[in-house]
Amino acid sequence: MNKNPIGVFDSGIGGLTVVKEIRKILPDEDIVYLGDTARLPYGTKSVDAIMQFSIENAEFLISRGAKFIVIACYSSTSVALDVVQKKCSVPIIGVIKPGVEQALAITKTGRIGVIGTSLTIYSGAYEKAFKEFNTRCEILGRACPLFVPLVEEGWLDHQATELIAQAYLQPLKEDNIDTLLLGCTHFPLLMPVIKKIMGDIHYVDASVEVGRELAQQLKENKLENPRGLGNLSIYLTDLSMNFKEIGERFLAEPMRNFSRISLKGA
Amino acid sequence: MNKNPIGVFDSGIGGLTVVKEIRKILPDEDIVYLGDTARLPYGTKSVDAIMQFSIENAEFLISRGAKFIVIACYSSTSVALDVVQKKCSVPIIGVIKPGVEQALAITKTGRIGVIGTSLTIYSGAYEKAFKEFNTRCEILGRACPLFVPLVEEGWLDHQATELIAQAYLQPLKEDNIDTLLLGCTHFPLLMPVIKKIMGDIHYVDASVEVGRELAQQLKENKLENPRGLGNLSIYLTDLSMNFKEIGERFLAEPMRNFSRISLKGA
């Protein structure tokens, strides 16, 4: 047993969709969340920059007592998970592997689609993660960069959103995938429009799988805190105009305890 | 006469649309451009953060010999022009006032629409700028946040872009504006779709007006360099995957001379 909090970081507030799932499966654990909102989005930054930001984020969470770190950012997991693991003393998981495992467990035909931001898809991080399982499945990646601003604008069921989703997803539909992995924190909010286009296939929301994987690893490492208060502290490197409105959309509960903090470079 | 370069900064590479217009009207001047790509976009950051970033950007350009500074970023001009002017020793103009003057000169009915990012519109910077001219014109602002990622994605004439433009611009159409001011570096690339919806009214592209205003102020301050080489040096605080492709879309010429530099906090 370990009473210290779980640390979670993301480039922004989208990672609160992961926090939401962690709180469902581990309601007693304390969580410290860091959103590097002063430097978001990571998806358009260079690999070097993302590595440096990710290390700073992890160090901050460790300075706040984190016993375990979840990288809730796809861009960061894609390019910086290894380097953060090497630099830090606590166990760390990213958002990619748990979703990959679930997609492999659930697919029948072995044709799996993955959608994410441009960096997540073009970095080849998913291909690499699937390869580690020696799978023969065919992995079809598709970048959907406009999904992020559409979610932040709150246009979850606008006709334009449907047209954009249609344009992005049509190639995956034509490729007859039977499983679609949502590889971005923002995308679960577009699940209804995605399902409308893709129809009756299997869907994997990586945030849910990360929660499960975390619960299992806490148990294996004897790090659980089954009698905690379930406190959530949110730190952001910048407080933008509408972060609270958007954040609560992701978290699906009120954001009560948040502060602005400065990192070295943020 | 002054052989030093003109300094131009923006949060990213969108400000190259302003550089493009400056090079048209002042082809002999050297230009040093700084795009703070490591910290873009500014539009979602707090006022404090934008002020701090803007001062750092101006100081960098002055360290590179800038004789005059153009803030080619709407978010930065909206909230940080005054504070940068106070901190720096060279003349500085922003992107807002020149467009406002032109809109006032061109309108017949006095009903002027302004479109921009959320921060530009909600900061009230345009209302304030119009008020300084003691105008009786009615100013109708409209935030169009999805226009930026649509331009960066290169979807300039996609059906979804037209639907989104329709949703954003319809209220301005119903308000019978006779002049539309494009208050964002990215928006001139959407001029065809905007014109399709808004029809035969007056359009003001602030980038063009900034070039004119700069030429006039250089003359008045005896700072022109009519026999320069017209060199353009581009500095970016981060080099993202596709900055060159997008940058050349804005600049309308090849990007030859660019380097990555580090600012204090970027």
Residue-wise pLDDT tens digits, A48-76:
999 999 999 999 999 999 999 999 998 89
pLDDT score recorded for residue A43 = 74
Please report residues of A whose CB lies closer than 8 A to that of B117: none
* Confidence label for A254 from pLDDT (cuts 50, 70 and 90): very high
Q: Decide which of 3.40.1160.10, 3.30.465.10, 3.40.50.1860, 3.30.1110.20 is the CATH code for A97-207.
A: 3.40.50.1860
Identical topology for domains A6-94+208-260 and A97-207: yes
* Confidence label for A41 from pLDDT (cuts 50, 70 and 90): confident
CA proximity to B79, closest of B52, B39, B60, B116: B52
Please report residues of B whose CB lies closer than 8 A to that of A118: 241-242
CB B118 to CB A241 under 8 A? Answer: yes
CB A146 to CB B148 under 8 A? Answer: no
Average pLDDT over residues B39-67: 91
Say whether B262 sits in a helix, a strand or coil. Answer: coil
Chain A within 8 Å of B37 (Cβ-Cβ)? yes
Q: Decide which of 3.40.50.620, 3.40.50.1860, 3.30.465.10, 3.40.630.30 is the CATH code for B97-206.
A: 3.40.50.1860
- CA A253 – CA A256 distance, rounded (Å): 9
* Confidence label for A241 from pLDDT (cuts 50, 70 and 90): low
How far A63 CA sits from the closest chain B CA (Å)? 21
CB A163 to CB B167 under 8 A? Answer: no
pLDDT score recorded for residue A44 = 73
Residue B89 has pLDDT above 80, yes or no: yes
CB A146 to CB B150 under 8 A? Answer: yes
A150-197 pLDDT, tens digit per residue, is: 998 889 999 999 999 999 999 999 999 999 999 998 999 999 999 999
B160-193 pLDDT, tens digit per residue, is: 999 999 999 999 999 999 999 999 989 999 999 9
Residues in B 155-174 with any Cβ partner in A closer than 8 A: 155, 158-160, 163-164, 167
Q: Which residues of B are catalytic?
A: 73, 184
3-class DSSP string for B160-191: HHHHHHHHHHHHHHHCCCCEEEECCCCHHHHH
Q: In chain B, whose CA is at the least distance from the CA of A120?
A: B241
pLDDT score recorded for residue B263 = 85
Rounded alpha-carbon distances, angstroms, from residue B192 to B17, B158, B210: 16, 12, 21
B55-67 in b/e form (b: 16+ CB < 10 A) is bbbbbbbbeeebb
What is the Rg, in whole angstroms, of the alpha carbon atoms belonging to chain A?
Answer: 18
Q: Which residues of A are catalytic?
A: 73, 184
CATH topology of domain A6-94+208-260: Rossmann fold (3.40.50)
* Confidence label for B125 from pLDDT (cuts 50, 70 and 90): confident
Average pLDDT over residues B83-107: 96
Contact of B17 with B70, CB cutoff 8 Å: no
Say whether B263 sits in a helix, a strand or coil. Answer: coil
Contact of B36 with B50, CB cutoff 8 Å: no
Residue B210's contacts (CB-CB under 8 Å, 6 or more residues apart) are: B18, B21, B22, B70, B72, B93, B95, B98, B99
Q: What ipTM does this complex have? A: 0.77
Nearest by CB: B160 against A38, A145, A160: A160
Q: Which two tokens stand for residue B199?
A: 């029809």
Average pLDDT over residues A98-105: 97
* Confidence label for A265 from pLDDT (cuts 50, 70 and 90): low
pLDDT score recorded for residue B265 = 58
Residue A266 has pLDDT above 60, yes or no: no
Q: In chain A, whose CA is at the least distance from the CA of B120?
A: A241
pLDDT score recorded for residue B239 = 82
Per cent of chain A over pLDDT 90 is 77
Q: What is the DSSP string of B205-231?
A: EHHHHHHHHHHHHHHHTT---TT----
Global model pTM greater than 0.95: no
CA proximity to B98, closest of B192, B2, B3, B25: B25
Q: In chain A, whose CA is at the least distance from the CA of B38?
A: A45
Per cent of chain B over pLDDT 70 is 98
Residue B245 has pLDDT above 90, yes or no: no
Residue B241 has pLDDT above 80, yes or no: no
Q: Which residues pair with B71 in a beta bridge?
A: B9
Please report residues of B whose CB lies closer than 8 A to that of A167: 158, 160
Mean pLDDT of chain A: 93
Nearest by CB: B163 against A45, A152, A159: A159
pLDDT score recorded for residue A25 = 96
Domain-by-domain residue ranges, chain B? 6-94+208-260, 97-206
Per cent of chain B over pLDDT 90 is 76
